[in-house]
Structure 1
Amino acid sequence: MIESPVIKVWDYLEELEEEKSDILEGFLKVLHSGRLILGESVKNFESAFSTYCRVAHGVGVDNATNGLFLALKALNIGPGDEVITVSNTAVPTAAAIVAAGATPRFVDIDPDTYLMDVSLLEAAVTPKTKCIIPVHLYGQCVDMTAVAEIALKQGLHVVEDCAQAHGAMRGGKKAGAMSDMGVFSFYPTKPLGGYGDAGMMVTDDPALDRKLRRLRFYGMDTAYYSEEPGYNSRLDEIHAEILLRKLRRLDGYIAARRALAERYDRLLAHTSVKLPTTLPGNEHVSYIYVCAHPERDRIIAELKKRDILVNISYPWPIHTMRGFAQFGYQEGDLPQTELAATRIFSLPMYPALTFTAQDRVCAALGEILKEPVVWE
């Protein structure tokens, strides 16, 4: 196979070629089933994915943003309530809080892992605080033992944002299984990604499971009769069937990501690039390989000249965005978050990335920085 001259930060086309017959078989299975909405494929995927997460219940939704929104609604969180989370995350984390009518309250991040700095968590709690949303960013879990201790002490709910952490573990527990609820995204780039938007909420609480199922379907337990105000946030049958088939390969995808991450670690060990740090007790799934460097912008520009494309997750902290200015944060309020935003960048990372392409990325970095790469 001839490699593309351009190395993308993420690509699915080679994976699709390998899996196309299975994907098309699943697509046709749904079309021929006679049931396109909330049928057997959704039911089977909900069961399989929640089992994978070691959680009793799974509720499929149209996307993870709505999953977080519905999780907050199920916990009766809304106007006048505060939800603690981080500013170094995708906008949907905070957007879901705002959509529920609540106020996001941001805490700073650990400068090594870029995860929520749990040492700052308790000081952020106010009488209005009702929930914590720790974000399992880049493929590894927040210290959920510390989060759970504070939540129990303060009487708070916890909803895990697991959008980037399918299969990640901490202390032997899977992401999504360490709180009231976990919310996953199946956006195409994710460790388990579909061919469009999709998401799932997981929980061990049967009452929350029933509530979430009503909320995603107009507040209905049965067709045409609404028990309470609800929404249209159903997971489509076609997406569910494709994801069910890809779930069987998820551990293989994760193994490939980890092999690439370990290889980056070795090849770039003697450069000035700050490499990812895994929190002790975590099993990282390497969704994104996030590096940092004071000359980040120059490095990105030089890589682009060499047809190597990278990404920044995330270039603008949420608390500094105009769309969230109403919450009164200023630049300087979250110094570690703001510093990271000027330095972080993500190297190409996806299961089908070849070692040859990875070598080219590392060689280019060594050339740009005039620093040694450790060749195997």
Structure 2
Amino acid sequence: MTRSREIQLAARPTGLPGPETFRLAERELPPPSQGEVLVQIRWLSLDPYMRGRMHEGKSYVEPFRLNEALDGGVIAEVIESADPGFAPGDLALAHGPWGEYAVLKAAGLQKLPRGSRVPPQAFLSVLGMPGMTAWTGLNRIAAAKAGETIVVSSAAGAVGSLAAQLAREKGLRVIGVAGSPEKCAQAVADFGCDACLDHRGKEVKQLSKEIAEAAPHGVDIYFENVGGTTLQAVLPRMNNFGRIALCGAIAWYNDPSAAPPASHVWLPIIQKRLRVEGFIVSDHVAFRGDFLSEVVPLVEAGKILWHETVAEGLDAAPEAFVGLLEGRSRGKQLVRIR
């Protein structure tokens, strides 16, 4: 038997999760059965969508269960295998617990290439779910074209930073919005933005005025990760028949009542005949090969950059997750387990 520590959901939070939301527990894992592998988790991905899974209500993904381990994307090393496709030492991308070890079905693991120049944790960020989300929103939802202008919210985040860089590669003018002067500076210096606007502490009218100055010919595409003030500010600047790729609204995850009145959103959409499409990246897994064939060479050539915020050790995961929701992390929030 293998003993493993894990982070469980102890209580469903109201507002921002606090220490009472999480519990550190220990359990014994049996040896792997046929078709399973015992893995040691090396890297854990923390993502904003996990806040929604802490609610009990129905959504596009099953909620976390009370008194059971939270889960998400992980990079894991195979320790013991009962499947011919995996051997000890193999690294794999998987869905696993916030924990130190796990017994997983081999069929659900994606083996990582040996000897790759890309670090393994990149398959949780720029080459993982956030990267695929950015690529999907830009290409399959917004159908971005050279010469257009795009505004990307959370432009220094895991999704937004890649959306901005891919838009730059396609020949778009890229306006980023981020939550601090430091993040904006990075969005311009590293992530391909022609300009980046700091939304912190600004009223809608002020931010909207700055968007108009940065995009004098209007905005053709808005890549929406945040909601909040940025959404209200960008809508009046959208060109007729513009497109909005809607993949997140982190500004409202802890307090849905903070969302603006519906008329402030729907009326500009009607008046400008905008096409708004919400999307979940898991609906587009059939196109993962297309995503990787485009982005892996750019990453290997150094044309795509990404940033990681790394918390050390399983015990640090809860506070790192709260920091992610509060905007304290830059780029992809990861936890290095071992």
Fold-level similarity (TM above 0.5): no
Report the TM-score when normalising by structure 2.
0.31
User: RCO (CA 8 Å, sep 6+): is it higher in 1 or 2?
Assistant: 1
Query: Greater helix percent: which structure?
Result: 1
Query: Greater strand percent: which structure?
Result: 2
